[in-house]
Structure 1
Amino acid sequence: MIRKISAASARWGAPRILGELRKLGIEVAKSTEEKYRLRHPTPPSPTWKAFLRNHVRDFVSIDFLTVPTAGFRVLFVLVVLTHDRRQVNHFNVTENPTAHWTAQQIVEAFPCDSAYLVRDRDAIYGAPFWRHIGSMGVEQVLTAPRSPWQNPYVERLIGSIRRDCLDHVTVLNERHLRRILTRYFDYYHCWRTHLSLDMNCPDPRPVQPHDRGTVVEFPDVGGLHHHYERRAA
């Protein structure tokens, strides 16, 4: 029994195994436990990527991207991404981001079933931001300085936004950018398949069998992208 327990529970020490044996009505000395317990090499600490993957349902990431306009102004886009289904839970655009504005976006957008907020160390997340997040009972997970790879999900999202959309349009103003992103996120959630989601969409998309009709093409995001559906003739 000592070998069986120690094989199944590599992290258990002698006191834990002795306590478990005692609850099973088996009284042995510590020396006996030490004699028969299997020795395991110390398991390595989980990587940051593994940590994020193991807690994917509990995490939300936030980040800003900057977008220049035709009039040489710079707009800031805040995105709030839930890790589980890669859904953009919220976004907003402003020319003058402040800690108060950012905190208010999180208050309005943060999913009630998430517990951790992953973000970088940008100065925009100042004291008002800390107070708002603290009052919500949300734990902040800060990435290391100059380590965007520690926030991979939202960084990948920002890359997709640029490659799929913003690199191909000229933004006129804040209202125009908000309209473009609204259209893109509609496409992103409902039609864009993701390798990490087993080639499904953030909003799961059913498979359409052959008997549903012929394949019809529909334009999205002003014709930048298309989606395909089967429609009866």
Structure 2
Amino acid sequence: MPISLTTLLATLSSIFRSRAALGLENLALRHQVGVLQRSARKRPKLTSGDRLLWICLSRLWRDWRSALAIVKPETVVAWHRAGFRLFWTWKVRHGQPGRPLISREVRDLIRKMCQENPAWGA
């Protein structure tokens, strides 16, 4: 299809899209141009920030696949899954294992109530 016809169709279709969708598409396209300029004459090198941007766009914008040109959509989905796994791995390793501790005051109160009311829990 000639470039002028493609441009005309893209312009006509942009009339019916929301302002937010156009803004997100503009952000996505400008980002890809920046990545390509940053890695001139080489295969595009994506940083963690680049990957995070595409993960966020994929969550916020329904039509994100249409603006994606430098990587495959499946790659972005794989990044999202890998990030999800990393988050939960980190959370499990850095969290407190087991049941949370009960404060000393609460334990003393429970013992006191138990001694004062021997018929409870029978």
Smaller-chain TM-score range?
under 0.3
Structure with higher helix content: 2
Structure with higher strand content: 1
Report 1 or 2 for greater relative contact order, CA contacts < 8 Å, sequence distance ≥ 6.
2
Structure showing greater Rg: 2
* TM-score with structure 1 setting the length: 0.17
